[in-house]
Each structure stands twice: as C-alpha cells, then as structure tokens.
Amino acid sequence: PFYPIPFGRRDSLTFANLSTTLANLPSPASNVTVLISVLGPKGLTFTDLVALSGGHTIGRSNCSSFQNRLYNSTTGISMQDSTLDQSFAENLYLTCPTNTTVNTTNLDIRTPNVFDNKYYVDLLKEQTLFTSDQSLYTDTRTRDIVKSFALNQSLFFQQFVLSMLKMGQLDV
C-alpha cells in the first residue's frame, strides 16, 4: 500500500549497533507473549503486531532463522514442529538438509515477490518459516486478526499503513 511519510522526523546520525538491534527486534523463534513483551511497552498493540508481521509477505530467510522448526536445537536431529504443514516441512528439509545449512528461501511461498495478504493465508495453512509468525495464528489473542487479514487484503493494507505510521513515530 502507498502511504505518505509524515514530515518532521529527524533520523539519527549514527547507526544502531548489534546489541541495540537485538534488544529491540524479537527473535524469529519468539512466541506472541515474547513479541508483545518487547513491542507492547513501545505502544504497539496485538493488531499492530499482526499487521507489521505482514511485512513478511516479501523477503527471504536463512535456514538458521527457522531451523528450530525442523531440528532439535541440542542434538541437531530432525524434529519437525507440530504446527508445520507436513508437505511444506518436506520442502524445507530439501532446502535445509541439516541444521547447519546456509541456504535461503522465500518467506511467502504463494506470492514471494508481491506485497499482499497471502502471508496470512500461509499462516492459516501452517506454511510459514518462523515460530514468531506461526504463533500469531496459534495464539488465541491474535488468531482472529490473522483470519480477518487473510480474508480481506484491503483491511490488512489499511491497518499496515496505520501500524507503520505508528511505528515510525517511536522514539522520535
């Protein structure tokens, strides 16, 4: 969606360092409780969280960012997450045949190069890479929001704009 960027914000003259970034950006292995504990104090709501996560409708990810859904973190042995569609998981194992594979894959398997609401359809079908994404559908606090965005792309676009504008005003 198109939206105007408000005037008046001054960007920093320095770049965020790794520790600042990691402290403000939840891990892809996070669940909704962790996500909202990081983003809630910034004034972002469950609706904002689900809308902003829709940005995952484009982009790619390294196997290391979702290996926890395919392999045991201690032993490295194959152990599929129960909230992962079987056929989708089989394809991920082809892309990431070991827990140390450095390959990448699309975040959205339906329309990887289009900003749309298919990310939410992926969630309904248990075909997303990150625990943090799939938990938006498995958690009762955010499930209905996911469903509404999966059914109504215009609603998703409208809320994405509102949430992006809100996020853009953080820590001004």
Residue 26 makes CB contacts below 8 A (sequence gap 6+) with 34, 35, 38, 39, 132
Q: List the binding residues for substrate.
A: 26
Alpha-carbon distance of 48 to 61, in angstroms, equals 22
Q: List the binding residues for heme b.
A: 56
Alpha-carbon distance of 69 to 164, in angstroms, equals 29
One-letter identity of residue 116: D
Alpha-carbon distance of 55 to 104, in angstroms, equals 17
Bridge partners of 104?
62
Contact 168, 161 (CB under 8 A): no
Q: List the binding residues for Ca(2+).
A: 57, 108, 111, 116
E strand map for 13-147: 60-62, 104-106
Q: List the binding residues.
A: 26, 56-57, 108, 111, 116
Residue 6 makes CB contacts below 8 A (sequence gap 6+) with 165, 168, 169
Query: What is the radius of gyration, based on Cα positions, of the chain?
Result: 17
